[in-house]
Amino acid sequence: MQQHPFHLPLLEIPASGAQLTITDQTLWTEGIAEFHLAIEIQTPLRATVSIQKTQEGCLVEGTIEGALCIPCNRCLDPCVFPLSTHFRDFEPLPGEDEGDLVEETRIAEENGNLFLDLSGLLWEEFVLATPINPLCTPDCKGLCPQCGANRNRETCQCHEGAGDPRLAVFRSLSIPSK
C-alpha cells in the first residue's frame, strides 16, 4: 500500500501538539473517485487540524471549508453546496484488551511505531459534512418519470392517470431509487 502523507507517526508530533493546514485536494479527489461519488470540488477544500497527544491517545480538532458541486437528488442539476464543518475527535491508543471491548481507533501500530490515520479521519468528517439529500431548492419538482423533462423548467404533456387504465395500479407503486 502506498504511504500516505497523512499517515502521521505519533513520534513526530511534539508534546506541544501539531498544527496542519491541508490544501492538497488529492485526499478528497482520491476518495471521491474510489467511492464513485457524484461530487466535484467547486472551491478547493482547506482543512485545518490540530493534534494534541495525551496519555490515552490523540485529540484531533479541526475544520474543513470549501464548496462542492453535487447533482440535485431530484432533477440532477448540478448545485453548489458550501462545506463548512468543525470536528473534534478523540482517537484512543490501540487497546490491549482481549475480547470485543477494544475501542475503535485510527491509531495503529506498524513496525513498533504508532501512526495516526489522519486521511481516514478527515475523509470520514468530509462524508459526514456532505449533504445526504442534496436538492437545488427545497421544493424542486424533479424529473417527469415518464418523459424525463425537468419539471422546474418545463411543463410536459404527460399526465398522471393518462394511458392504459389497466396499468394505473402500477403507477401508484413507488419505484425504489437506486
Q: Which residues bind Zn ion (CB under 5 A)?
A: 72, 74-75, 136, 140, 144, 146-147, 149, 156, 158
Quote the least distance from Cβ 114 to Zn ion, whole Å.
Answer: 46
Considering the complex, state which of residue 93 and residue 158 has its C-beta at the smaller distance from Zn ion.
Answer: 158
For Zn ion, the closer of residues 95 and 145 by Cβ is: 145
As given in the structure block, the three cell numbers for residue 36 are 464513485
Q: Among residues 59 and 158, whose Cβ is nearest to Zn ion?
A: 158
- CA-to-CA separations, 10 to 47, 83, 88, 177, in angstroms, rounded: 20, 29, 18, 44
Euclidean distance between CA atoms 140 and 152, whole angstroms: 7
- Minimum Å gap between C-beta 28 and Zn ion is 24
**Of 20 and 69, which CB lies nearer to Zn ion in the complex structure?**
69
Q: What is the dihedral of CA 17, 118, 61, 87, to 10 degrees?
A: 180
CB of 144 to Zn ion, least distance (A): 3
CB of 14 closer than 8 Å to CB of 39: no
78 contacts 57 by C-beta, under 8 angstroms: no
CB 85 to Zn ion: min, Å: 23
